[in-house]
Amino acid sequence: MKSTILFTLLAGLLSSSPVHAAERTLTPQQQRMTTCNQQATSQDLKGDARKSYMSNCLKNSQSAPGDKSLTPQQQKMKSCNTEAGNKSLTGDARKTFMSECLKKAS
């Protein structure tokens, strides 16, 4: 009886794994890696030429300022920080303002 339940649970876990993999979104680094890999494949690069191309492609992608996208929390933090800077807040006043600003719904 216990082995039947265990087997059923194990089978359920194994069959549900591909569903979660399809729903997963790629991180910015994974997106860069995919793009660079596709470009290297389209150029038919192999061996050291491919390694060199991938290295340069990933370095250039990381250093591009517009390539990095901010999470919603980071965007909120950036806007609150800018607003606090514009108001010339410091010390406890800045901490209080940042706390309240970050609590607001965006």
pLDDT tens, residue by residue, 33-69? 888 888 888 888 889 988 888 888 888 765 444 445 7
Residue 45 lies in a domain: no
Taking residues 17-26, report their average pLDDT: 62
So what's the pLDDT on residue 86?
A: 92
Q: What is the mean pLDDT of the chain?
A: 78
Residue 76 lies in a domain: yes
Asked if 101 contacts 84 with a C-beta cutoff of 8 angstroms, the reply is: yes
In this prediction the pTM is 0.38
Q: What is the dihedral of CA 8, 9, 11, 17, to 10 degrees?
A: 160
Q: Which domain holds residue 92?
A: 70-106
Residue 81 lies in a domain: yes
Total structural domains within the chain: 1
